[in-house]
Amino acid sequence: MKKTVEANKTLIVNGPSSVRIISGRAEVFGNIIKENQQIIVREGKRQPFHALENTEFHVSLGANATMQEEETKTIPESWNEALQTVVAIQKKPAVVMVMGKADSGKSSFSTYIVNNLVNGKTKVAVLDSDLEQSDIGPPCTVSYNYVTRRVTELCEIGMSNAFFVGVTSPIQAVNKSIEGLTAMHREIMQKHDADYIIINTDGAIEGESAINYKLQLVNQLKPDLIVGIQNQEELAVLFSGIDTITTYCIKSSPNANVRSPEKRTRLREMNYAKYLKDAKIRSLFASHMEIQEKNILPKEAGKEKGILVGLKNSKKHFLGIGIMLEYNRARQTMKVLTPVSIKPAIITIGRIRLDPELREMPL
């Protein structure tokens, strides 16, 4: 269907949808969308198309998708103020950590910051530590990549490397989560080619365990600036424990996409499917590999079926994920369903089990 939106108004589109501009221009989190450019809004995602001039859209709505028009821009002014604070950091690379509760808009704000930093002379790295709703790598991983162009979603930038943690909440594996984040952060720093490093964190910010985890992250990564997204002082307790690093609080977008736990699980399962596409059953010799977190494997034969695993090469570079189908201890052989075609040197056992339809099951 066609939809005309006047200048300075915003078209909010919920996926799954396809949006193409027939005439005019619109902005999505700092990314300018022009005539004939088509944007896919994934299921469970929401995109605000802010009309920079009178703009005619062609919108194709999928099942249960919706759209609505808002009178004003949905990006809070505090986002631009935070952007100016980021730009003013003299140290390079400038490390900026983004915090907030689940669905507060951390990924949207990170996208906004990235799009306004990227140009011909600025190189930006994004480190994604949200194990539950990862934008860059598979679920249960810490991942990163560099951004060289403006995007509407962080998932568009691909993945340079990842660290498989094997859980959907860092509170379930604090040491492993911190190990992964510090490893990926160190890798970016050692390349000496990023002007900015944007660290997008998970949504655990309340409760003693979550706060201690975040404080450990801050202590390990030592960001130059922490941007917190909140509406009602949700970060007050956490930020009270941070006194050596500048913190800056901004508001959530009034159109932030709040999703139910069931919807978040559904999005995660769709992401498993994305990274297991074209998977085949591979036979592996356990004696030829290092098995990390081996203690997680059930001792009873057959109970290992469905466990999510991460695969790495001998240089500890992430190859992909897989699903354990069989582990024969006597013969020291494994069968793993994975799209990874080369023999891994390291296999890490996760704490997530998937059924044949890639739905999460209790481990």
What's the pLDDT tens digit per position in 323-360? Answer: 999 999 889 999 999 999 999 999 999 999 999 999 99
- Mean pLDDT, residues 98-118: 95
Q: How far is CA 264 from CA 102, 103, 104, 308, in A?
A: 10, 10, 14, 18
- The closest alpha carbon to 100, from 236, 212, 266, 217, belongs to 236
Nearest to 31 by CA among 101, 91, 119, 90: 119
Tell me the H-state helices in the chain. Answer: 77-87, 106-117, 174-191, 208-221, 236-240, 261-275
Is the distance from CB of 339 to CB of 278 less than 8 angstroms?
yes
Query: Rounded CA gap, 80 and 251, in Å?
Result: 11
- 3-state class (DSSP) for residue 133: coil
Q: Show the tokens assigned to 147.
A: 């951004």
What integer pLDDT is reported at residue 246 of this predicted model? 94
Q: What is the mean pLDDT of the chain?
A: 94
pLDDT at 73: 83
Question: What is the rounded distance in angstroms from the CA atom of residue 235 to the CA atom of residue 39?
Answer: 34
240 CB contacts (<8 Å, ≥6 apart)?
none
Confidence of residue 255 (pLDDT cuts 50, 70, 90): confident
Tell me, what's the pLDDT at 120?
64
Candidates 191, 189, 136, 132; CA nearest to 160 is: 136
* 9 Cβ neighbours under 8 A, 6+ residues apart: 50, 51, 69, 70, 71, 72
Is the dihedral angle over the CA atoms 22, 27, 32, 38 positive or is it negative?
Answer: negative
User: Per-residue confidence at 112, pLDDT binned at 50, 70, 90?
Assistant: very high
Average pLDDT value for residue range 313-332? 95
Examine the pLDDT at 300 and tell me if it is beyond 90: no
Domains of the chain: residue spans and CATH: 2-70 (2.60.120.1030), 77-250 (3.40.50.300), 276-361 (2.40.30.330)
What lies within 8 Å, CB to CB, of 144 at 6+ separation is 125, 126, 127, 128, 136, 159, 160, 161, 162, 184, 187, 188
Q: What are 213's two structure tokens?
A: 């985890």
* 274 touches 158 (CB < 8 A): no
Indicate the helix (H) or strand (E) that contains 70.
strand 66-70
Residue 37 has a pLDDT of 93
Q: What is the pLDDT of residue 258?
A: 85
Tell me the C-alpha distance between 177 and 166, whole Å: 9
Residue 93 corresponds to which tokens in the numbers above?
Answer: 């690379």
pLDDT score of 104 = 93
pLDDT of residue 148: 87
Nearest in space to 354 (alpha carbons), one of 329, 336, 328, 333 = 336
Count of CB atoms within 10 A of residue 39's CB?
19
- pLDDT at residue 301, rounded to an integer: 84
Give the mean pLDDT of 78-85. 96
